[in-house]
Amino acid sequence: MLFNELHLPSHLLETLENISYKVPTPIQEKAIPVLLSGADLLASAQTGTGKTAAYCLPMLNFLHFGKSKPKMPRAITLVPTRELAAQVVAELEKFSAVQKFKVVQVIGGEGMMEQERALLKMVDVIVATPGRLLDFLSKGKLILNEVKFFVLDEADKMLDMGFLEDVEKIMGYLPKTRQTALFSATFSKAILNLSKKLLNSPQQIMISPSATTASTVTQYFINTTLKTKSRDLNALFKKEAITSGIIFCNRKRDIQGLLKDLEKWGCKVGCLHGDLTQAIRTQTWQDFKAGNIQFLIASDVAARGLDSEGLDVVVNYDVPNSSDDYVHRIGRTGRAGKEGKSYTLCLPSDQKTLAEIEGLIKAPLNFIEISKEKTLEKPLEKKPSEKTTVKKEKPPVKKPEKTEKFSLEPNKIPHVILSEKSVIKTGFGDTVPAFMNVNWKAAPAD
């Protein structure tokens, strides 16, 4: 299918042509017709599947008809993090190149004055995080009576971050007659309860991320110990010629320690975690994308939603606490059909979590043995033209080695690149699980 078969208006088709979007991703192919028809939507889709365009394009189609007023947007996207907000704004601006729409960010961590000033002019769509949005609403600086298109993006993350109460309060400000779309990577009971209150007879779309993201990521693991972890990472960089990428840590305090290590090795490094101001986080992300920073050491806050297109390598310095987080982390690479690699450093105590991850992705990770002697003698260097990507090379096809692996029996350890079989199936595929066949009723929004 091509975009021009989706009945999008000509200004959007022209924009898509200009930015070389030719073929819709599966979520776009399914969600765009539903949203263009005016129906509510409940969609399971992860970042990297093209979900942002799946709702932005119908939203801009809706905005094309009608006129907005100051302080009264006609569409809202509610997102859990500031980074995701910035990314959605960037996508909306990209899609409104031919026909201009006024997009305003209403997010915490930045001064209110500038956002307030922007709202005083005509505003078509706001992209907001819950806390700041409620702030504006309670002060009467924003009125939602004209909102007809409401998107709740990454609803699972929203609830994980404790925003349920805020989301419910925001619902109270929204008009009853509106179109609503809810996107979530996973569906807990809490999400289903929320969706019952928020959505009116929604159409359900379940997209497994497998075909679009993780099947393109070759996933490796390395055995390590607490004592040798930093040295093993160094050896891994050397062995795999890794010169850039995102490195995830579970704890903020470990980020600082690792930062110092990488600086000692001569790498250009930045950090991204929740304690930093928004201005620093934004600058660091831009520096990373521009190639001024080789390695970004990040907490899971940074894992979701960031548009890390072109990123080839993700390193899990710690095995994430949950297998879902693992999927989100490695989803930073291998996006939009491109190839990527992920490396996970495993302690003996990570055995159980590693087994869970392998259960979730329905494939064992590829084992890489790190020679303890192979540490960097000199700083890693990047070619001047290299941005955040590392040089593409054929991943090594390993001969069976005599190495002990603690999570699988030796005969289960593959020493080859994962193939199509290594797809990650964290969604529900195209089948709706029985527990989701609920009776959808619209609950009063206010």
Using CB under 6 A, list all residues that contact ligand AMP: 21, 23-25, 28, 47-53, 307, 309, 335-336
One-letter amino acid of 91: E
Burial of 392: CB neighbours in 10 Å, binned 0-12, 13-18, 19+: exposed
Closer CB to ligand AMP, 47 or 218, in the complex: 47
For residue 25, the minimal CB distance to ligand AMP (Å) is 5
Instruction: Please report which helix (H) or strand (E) contains residue 266, including its range.
Output: none
Strands 340-346 and 217-223: parallel
Residue 73 or 331 having the CB closest to ligand AMP = 331
CB of 268 to ligand AMP, least distance (A): 24
CA distance 29 to 51: 10
CB of 309 to ligand AMP, least distance (A): 4
CA 376, 377, 383, 384 dihedral sign is: positive
Q: How near is the Cβ of 420 to ligand AMP at its closest, in Å?
A: 20
Judged by beta carbon, residue 1 or residue 241, the one nearer ligand AMP is 1
Give the pairing type, strands 125-128 and 103-106.
parallel
Q: How far is the CB of 49 from ligand AMP (least distance, A)?
A: 5
Closer by beta carbon to ligand AMP, 47 or else 215: 47
Of 328, 45, 359, 32, the C-alpha closest to 187 is: 45
**Residues sharing a CB contact under 8 Å with residue 185, sequence separation 6 or more, in sequence order:** 44, 45, 46, 47, 154, 156, 157, 209, 324, 328, 426, 427
User: Whole-number minimum distance, CB 376 to ligand AMP, in Å?
Assistant: 32
Beta bridge partners of 361: none
CB of 47 to ligand AMP, least distance (A): 5
Instruction: Tell me how far, at minimum, the Cβ of 245 lies from ligand AMP, in Å.
Output: 17
**What six digits make up the tokens of 275?**
């304690």
Joined together, the tokens standing for residue 327 give: 């999927």
* HSE toward the beta carbon, residue 26, CA cutoff 13 A: 19
Residue 49 or 407 with smaller CB distance to ligand AMP: 49
Cross-strand bridge partners of residue 106 = 128
CA distance 139 to 408: 57
Q: Which is nearer to ligand AMP, 24 or 427 (CB)?
A: 24
Strands of 89-159 (E only): list them. Answer: 103-106, 125-128, 149-152
Closer residue to ligand AMP, CB minimum distance, 52 or 129: 52
Q: Which is nearer to ligand AMP, 238 or 338 (CB)?
A: 338
How many Å separate Cα 302 from the centre of its chain?
9
